[in-house]
Amino acid sequence: MKNTKFFIYAVVLLLIMFGFAFAQPNINKDDVFKNIVANTDAQFVSALSKSLDQDYVITVPIPSLSQERSEYIQLVDITKACTTNGGEVISAYPEIYKLIRSEENELIVKVFLYIDSKGGERRIEVYYTGGDWMQYGLVYFITNAGEDKNLVNAYFIDELSTPDHENGAIAPALNPFDPKKIVEFITSDFLEVDGNVKTRFSKVASTFVQYAR
């Protein structure tokens, strides 16, 4: 029964194709395909699609929010340029770290540069800290994003930090050591398209740094 139904559909398909070929000799092949699919039983479409050449398979990627925003904000990873031979990443704003709650373990995970909508060069340092007893730690973004390049602010980032601030026993929503996750979060959640920090993030510390980049 299934073979008979498939044969009938095949015959109908051939008739439709021949009809388009003779009635509209200049029609585009893609248009023919669209019309065939529009007039074919849904069950047959699946079998039809598998038998067609891959040239007919059209994939339309839908950009994510982070991809759309990255057209405006392009992060440049300069971590290696800021790293000593001993593997320590050096901050451009060491004074602000004295104003942040830090535990025994601390390191700058990543350093990014980007150009804001007014052509200003801005910097983001991704800072991680945690105690020896903590499985997961706390993350801050240190940045001079904003109108004044010499004003450096620290922002606590909930999404990259453990919700358990005392014991660090609960994993954060996002892995703070995954570069892709960090970039996606910065471009889609942390920064506005003009390069400024979104208003939902509150400063936990601020300091002026003369000639900060």
Instruction: Enter the pTM of the model.
Output: 0.67
Residue 62's φ and ψ, nearest 5 degrees, are: -100, 115
Residue 156's φ and ψ, nearest 5 degrees, are: -80, 135
Region 134-155: mean pLDDT is: 96
Residue pLDDT, tens place only, 103-132: 999 999 999 999 999 999 999 999 999 999
Q: Return the exposure string of 97-123: e unless at least 16 CB atoms fall within 10 Å of the residue's CB, then b.
A: beebebeeeeebbbbbebebeeebebb
Split at pLDDT 50, 70, 90, the class of 73 is confident
Region 38-49: mean pLDDT is: 35
pLDDT score recorded for residue 130:
95
Mean pLDDT of the chain: 76
Region 155-179: mean pLDDT is: 96
pLDDT score recorded for residue 210:
72
For residue 38, pLDDT beyond 70 = no
